[in-house]
Structure 1
Amino acid sequence: MRHVGIFSLIALLFFACTDDEEMVSIDVKDSTEYLVTVNINWNPTDFPTSYPSNAHFSRLIGWSHDANQSFFKTGTFASNGIKTMAETGGTSPLEAELKELIEEGKGNNYFVGSNLSSGTGEIVLKVEVTEQHSSITLATMIAPSPDWYIAVVDINLMENNSFVDQKTVEAHVYDAGTDSGTTYASANDVTNPQMPIALFVDAPVGNGVQLHASIATVRFTKM
């Protein structure tokens, strides 16, 4: 009987330890929301060369994803969705592509914000990030233009294992590599073969080395 009691005690301790281990190993992925303020300053004073009378920006679109995701990165080729966004401002194909990437586990959510009816102003939206998908990419077409857009790419909102309270970054101008036009009003000129996505600092927005001025900043504020 004494042996039975000892074995029972050992079994009880074993299962108690097993339960504790299972509780500790639960994989909890914390999430948080950020208010994103995109401050755009594409104005005729800083960017005087052929500044269009109908300057505007398409609807802002982007997603939360794992850090170092290659989608949208310079040196990669624009997808059909990125091409459509960069050339026409349309977001539907890109939304479908982002949904697919999210279903593959590469992202948490995608976001579509408002457009901007002039060259200057703010676009504000909310985004959600998680520990696993802590980076944000956002883009909007410079309109009119051949295939140019402004974007922030792979901005990680987690530092030192915690979400930052606030982060402000410069947006850059990108060339999607799909249209060879050189002015805002250039006719469609398909780039064949397609070129990789690249930072764009040439005329009319820059001098070949850098932009004439900061074109936009993006502020992330934890809610």
Structure 2
Amino acid sequence: MKKNRKKAIIIEILLVLAVAAVVVAVVIGVGSTEETPETAGSETPANTGESAAAGIGETEQTATYMIKYDATWSAETHPETLPEGAHVSPIFVVAHANEGDLFAAGTAATEGIEIMAETGATAVLADEVGANPSILDSTVGSLINVPGSIELEIELDQDHPLLSAVSMLAPSPDWFVAVSNVELFRDGQWLEEVSLAVRPYDSGTDSGATFTADDLETDPAGVIGSPADDSFTDAAAENRFATITLTKKKPG
């Protein structure tokens, strides 16, 4: 009987030691998962919000585009309607955040748009653009004796992904061509290349009915709209006036 009791005591001691060993192992295991100087910051950038944000490079936040303005308006494209001395004014381009930052059809022309459409000058328009916080960047080309082309660059960013451009058709009362609110950042990607035919507009500030009409101020002024006078609608129907191609430049 004493022998059995001794055996039971030994088994009991062994069980206690086994439980103690398990507890020690668990404690050691938990301690090993705590962050130490050696393991701190060892997560990959993709796993931390801060590192992921820092990983978005400048080339993804911003993009520089080459703008090719190809004024095809000529005796070849418009044999029936081309006025003598035809040319297009220096193209004026902006990168902006909101639709209508440069101009909007159906609204009155700003002084800058009026002067651009009637004379081709862009100084006042540049002042207006410079005072608009929604416009990131602007650039202006040079006069083109048609047919001809010019290339220039502009920078956009994800907060200002829209591009608009205007250029006067000359001679004309107040007629111009444009592309408006072209979205170059879509679905998280910058577009590689976009080619567009310009659209013709009447600024609504001069009532001349032909390309070479004398100045005839519209009073009260109208709104920016599509061609209405026969000379302009006939020319617009005959062929396109120009195209604009936007090509994303490779970074670096």
Classify the TM-score, shorter chain: 0.7 to 0.9
Identity %: 28
Partner residue, 1:215: 241
2:119 pairs, out of 80, 83, 88, with 88
Residue 199 (structure 1) shift: 1.8
1:160 is aligned to 2:187: yes
Partner of 1:75: 106
In 1: Cα distance, 2:87 partner to 2:197 partner: 19
Alignment partners' CA distance in 2, 1:140 and 1:69: 16
CA displacement at 1:203 relative to structure 2? 2.7
Q: Which residue of 2 aligns with 1:6?
A: none
Query: Deviations along 1:32-60, whole A, 9 cap, x unmatched?
Result: 11111111111224334453221111111
Alpha-carbon distance in 1 for matches of 2:127, 2:241: 28
Q: Specify the alignment match of 1:126 in structure 2.
A: 153
- CA RMSD, 1 decimal: 2.5
Provide the aligned length of Structure 1 versus Structure 2. Answer: 204
What is the aligned counterpart of 1:175 among 166, 181, 202?
A: 202
In structure 2, how many angstroms separate the alpha carbons of the residues matched to 1:164 and 1:50?
A: 36
Three-state SS of the structure 1 residue aligned to 2:209 is coil
- 1:31 corresponds, among 62, 78, 90, to 62
Alpha carbons of structure 1 residues 221 and 135: separation in structure 2 relative to 1, 3 Å: same
| 1:144-200 residue CA offsets vs partner (Å, 9 max, x unmatched) | 110001111111111211100101111011101100001111111011111110122
Structure number with higher relative contact order (C-alpha < 8 Å, ≥ 6 residues apart) = 1
* Equivalent in the alignment of 2:28: none
Distance 2:219 2:80 in 1: 27
Structure 1 letter corresponding to 2:136: N
Of Structure 1 and Structure 2, the greater strand share is in 1
In structure 1, list runs of 5 or more residues that go unmatched: 1-8, 10-15
Verify: 1:142 aligned to 2:180, yes or no: no
- Find the counterpart in structure 2 of residue 13 from structure 1: none
Is the Cα–Cα contact under 8 Å of residues 42 and 119 in structure 1 kept in the other structure?
yes
> Normalization by structure 2: what TM-score?
0.73
Question: Is 1:107 aligned to 2:135, yes or no?
Answer: yes
Matched residue SS, 2:168: strand
Residues 1:206 and 1:47: Cα distance change in structure 2 (over 3 Å): farther
Q: State the one-letter code of the partner of 2:70.
A: N
Secondary structure of the 2:238 match is: coil
TM-score, length-normalised on structure 1? 0.82
In structure 1, the partner of 2:93 is: 62
- In structure 2, runs of 5+ residues without a counterpart are 1-33, 35-40, 42-47
Where is the helix percentage greater, Structure 1 or Structure 2? Answer: 2
Matches within 5 A, 1:34-45: 34-45=65-76
CA distance in 2, matches of 1:98, 1:121: 27
Q: Secondary structure at the match of 1:62?
A: strand
